[in-house]
Amino acid sequence: MSPSERRGARARPAHVPRADGDPHAEADAAPSPYTQLLALAERQAALAREGHSEHISSLHERFEVIRADAPATPPAAMASLLARAAVVQERAAAQLTRLQEQLRREIATVTKARAAVRSRSRMASDPQRVDRRV
């Protein structure tokens, strides 16, 4: 009989995650909120790299819900995991900024092209303008 059994202590079932946030918890344990945050950050970064920014907002909402439900002070064992999640999110933010700039340039190009088409269509519909240019 082990000392904990003699004292009447019950062993923690294998499927229950450790309260101290052990990153090496059992494989069948539910993922910690910190592991979930990292996974969501990685998915957001992948979507940003692939140019699928339209799906990122739903992931961000899930990220915020998990973050709000997580303990205010994470276990020390999660520091490296959270640092990695922060780096991944910074990279995703940088990629989204690049996508935003690309979209702005494309919108500017379309706006200029639209103005040119309108101008030409007005000239074509006004025979006097066409005659003056010839």
Predicted pLDDT at 42: 94
The model's confidence at residue 121, banded by pLDDT at 50, 70 and 90, is confident
Q: What is the pLDDT of residues 11-30, one digit of tens each?
A: 333 333 344 444 444 445 67
Instruction: Report the number of secondary-structure helices (H) and strands (E) in the chain.
Output: 5, 0
What is the DSSP code (8-state) at residue 52?
Answer: -
Q: For the whole model, what pTM was predicted?
A: 0.59
Q: Where are the chain's structural domains?
A: 30-133
Q: What is the pLDDT of residues 66-86, one digit of tens each?
A: 989 988 898 999 999 999 999
Instruction: Please check whether residue 11 is in contact with residue 4, taking contact to mean a CB–CB distance below 8 angstroms.
Output: yes
CB within 8 Å of 35: residues ≥ 6 apart: 23, 81
Kindly report the number of other CB atoms within 10 A of residue 63's CB atom.
20
Instruction: Please check whether residue 32 is in contact with residue 78, taking contact to mean a CB–CB distance below 8 angstroms.
Output: yes
